[in-house]
Amino acid sequence: MAKLDPDLLTQRYGTPFPLPVELLERGNTALETILAHRSVRHYVDKPLEPGVLELLVATAESASTSSNLHCYSIIAVQNPERKAALSELCGKQKHIVDAPLFLLFCADLARLKQICEQQSGPSDGLDYAEMFVMAIVDAALAAQNLVTAAESLGLGTCYIGGARNHPKEISAFLDLPAKVFVVFGLTIGYPIRDADEVKPRLPQEHGILHHETYSADFHPALIRYEDAMKDFNSTMPGREGRGWLAQTARRVGTPEALGADRPKIKEFLTEIGMDLL
């Protein structure tokens, strides 16, 4: 078995991350693929081989799904003009145009509604926030499985939350029925080598990982992460000196900073019958 390269963990946190040697000895390609993740926004002009889309969707469907309800759908867009139009709707993101495949992951309660009708039963449960949460979780789990599988094939991906910029317009563009909501998009294609970097993550201690009970003593982790992100950005032309904290506070500071029509998502959900009781 291959030894896990400790550099993968150092890159992930922007600082050495010691692990017991016995654990490093258990290295494998799944761990390598996951730890080496980076969003890819630069693609070579190369189509995907036949069968790749279908294989990737099989990996998405291999994710767990709440109560086996399959509350999500995936829409594959490969037509260049349609990708260009979607790029406009998603905040003019060029990687949507450049990637050969753009997937839209939808929270989908329409299929369950149809099943209830066919079974001549009520479908009142579908109107509750619980079902909306379930559908979002299902879509996200499926997507992340697909991302890891794509990366294992040498492909790169980038999630596109910009797909929520104009929910009404994107729903019309994709012919979505009521009770179907685009959660995010995902660009997929072969990456231009080394054009995108592995970005460090928040430290576990005082940050992401809590033991037994929650602790809000984040300060030490935030300071360490600010330094890691400043180091990371120092290698990016035009981003020198930038950290994470000020930018993060700005990103969530106002409704406008959420972007485009995103502050109105609640109203849109009501319009499409995804009311949250």
Ligand X SMILES: Cc1cc2nc3c(=O)[nH]c(=O)nc-3n(C[C@H](O)[C@H](O)[C@H](O)COP(=O)(O)O)c2cc1C
Q: Which residues bind ligand X (CB under 6 A)?
A: 37-39, 41, 93, 158-162, 184, 199
247 token code pair: 């930018």
Q: Which stretches within the chain are classed as H helix?
A: 6-13, 21-24, 29-35, 52-61, 80-89, 94-98, 110-118, 129-152, 167-173, 219-234, 245-253, 265-271
**Beta carbon of residue 187, minimum distance to ligand X (angstroms, whole number):** 8
Q: CB–CB of 169/89 below 8 Å?
A: yes
Q: Which CB sits closer to ligand X, 199 or 230?
A: 199
**In the complex, minimum distance from the CB of residue 144 to ligand X, in angstroms, rounded to a whole number:** 9
Closer CB to ligand X, 86 or 112, in the complex: 86
233 by DSSP, 3-state: which? Answer: helix
Question: Which residue type does 121 have?
Answer: G
Residue 160: CB minimum distance to ligand X, A: 4
Tell the smallest beta-carbon distance from residue 197 to ligand X (Å).
Answer: 7
Q: Measured from the CB atom, is 28 or 247 closer to ligand X?
A: 247
Residue whose beta carbon is closest to ligand X? 161
CB of 196 to ligand X, least distance (A): 7
Nearer to ligand X, 116 or 260 (CB): 260
Specify whether the CB–CB gap between 23 and 75 falls below 8 A: no
Cβ proximity to ligand X: between 37 and 113 the closer is: 37
Contact 198, 17 (CB under 8 A): no
Pull the structure tokens for residue 254.
């106002």
